[in-house]
Amino acid sequence: MTRTLKALRELHCLTQTDVAEILGISLHSYCNKENGKLQFTLKEAKKLSDLFKLSIEEIFFANKEFVLNTKVI
């Protein structure tokens, strides 16, 4: 999941700071969550789903190759 989320973020030209602000959390918390040290809340997962226009399952259970083949809208 961590590589997938990072790949999605980079694919959309977003920084960790950008995503942290969208989620309404600190940069430190987002970094820990992106690196798998902390879990995302359901509310945060939904915001990521809306942001990347993918299902929660696709974000958290897909592999990096799937993400890299996803077109940015």
Q: What is the pLDDT of residues 33-57, one digit of tens each?
A: 999 999 999 999 999 999 999 999 8
Rounded Cα gap, residues 45 and 35, in angstroms: 15
Cβ(51)–Cβ(22) below 8 Å = yes
Counting residues of the chain whose pLDDT is more than 90, the rounded percentage is 68
Predicted local confidence at residue 68, as pLDDT: 61
Q: How far is CA 19 from the centre of its chain?
A: 8
69 pLDDT exceeds 90? no
Cβ(2)–Cβ(39) below 8 Å = no
Q: What is the CATH number of the domain that holds 33?
A: 1.10.260.40
Report how many domains make up the chain. Answer: 1
Is the pTM above the cut of 0.75? yes
Rounded Cα gap, residues 72 and 60, in angstroms: 18
Q: Please calculate the CA angle 10-16-22 and round it to the nearest 5 degrees.
A: 105
Domain span at residue 12?
2-67
Asked if residue 73 is part of any domain, the answer here is no
